[in-house]
Amino acid sequence: MARTISKRMLKAKGVLALLLLVILGALTAGYLLTERSAAAQPAETVTEPPTEAPTEAPTEAPTEAPTEAPTEGATAQGAGLVQRAAEGEILTVTPEGDNWALTYIGLQYRLPEDYVPELAAAVEGSDEQLDARVAPYFAEMYAAAKADGCTLTPYAGYCSQARQAENYENRVQMHLNAGMTQEEAQAAAAQRIQPAGASEHNAGLAIDIGSASADFVSTREFAWLTEHAWEYGFVLRYPEDKTDVTGMLYEPWHWRFVGEQAAKEMHESGQCLEEYLGLA
């Protein structure tokens, strides 16, 4: 009896053990399945970011960087002051209104053909003229430099658009004679002499001081201007280290009136006019 009982009990135990095994098996199988699906999910999320990252990163970086950088550097006064010309577009600009002194003039930003500013002698006794609003600032700067033993001789101030056209054509012809095509000659000429209406001299907002020679850079006058011109609202318009931005060759003699506030800010930040106005 006892044997049969124990046999039965053994049988029962065996069934129990089998059941336990089945349950355990089912549990581990379930566990493994959930683990596998859990492992499968991260694998999916891993494949997602790489597809997103390359498409987002390149489009974001180039579009944001150029638009943000200039506005960050430029002041509230300078930023967005100038309407940007589209490629190949030529805008008409006129130095008037509150920000007349910051008028951007260049190949794509030209004065009206008939624009002639109200003129005044750059300094008493000089044949060179400037916009009458600029002349008092130059005269003050001239006197201050004189007191320091430097003579800021006006070499070229206002230039009529008719004379500008003549100078430009002569320059183009010079390059044509040297064997350039018309297109090449115009591009080369514009690095030094702009076409009519595209020069700050046509507005009377700029003055060439001393001479139109590279030697001017080694004069005491140039050193004085570098230190003090901003105090009178003038900036070196085409600096040596900004030729890529200005599109113009280095002109140590060419000083542009931009107003005292802007000149101070440009002096402090080291920006050229294109950068200050957010055009760079």
Catalytic residues: 251
Q: Any idea what DSSP says for residue 199?
A: S
Q: Which residues contact 204 (CB under 8 A, 6 or more apart)?
A: 117, 119, 129, 130, 131, 134, 157, 158
What does the binding site for Zn ion look like in residue numbers (CB under 5 A)?
208, 254
Nearer residue to Zn ion within complex by CB, 216 or 276: 216
**What is the dihedral angle through the alpha carbons of 8, 14, 18, 21, rounded to the nearest 10 degrees?**
140
Minimal distance, residue 132 CB to Zn ion, in Å: 19
Nearer residue to Zn ion within complex by CB, 70 or 252: 252
Q: Radius of gyration (Cα) for the chain, nearest Å? A: 37
Distance of alpha carbon 217 from alpha carbon 215, whole angstroms: 5
Distance of alpha carbon 124 from alpha carbon 135, whole angstroms: 10
Minimal distance, residue 52 CB to Zn ion, in Å: 52
Strands 206-209, 254-257: pairing is antiparallel
Nearer residue to Zn ion within complex by CB, 254 or 267: 254
Minimal distance, residue 49 CB to Zn ion, in Å: 55
Say if CB 70 and CB 278 are below 8 A apart: yes
Minimal distance, residue 208 CB to Zn ion, in Å: 4
Q: What is the 3-state secondary structure (H, E, C) of 10-41?
A: HHHHHHHHHHHHHHHHHHHHHHHHHHHHHHHH
Nearer residue to Zn ion within complex by CB, 208 or 265: 208
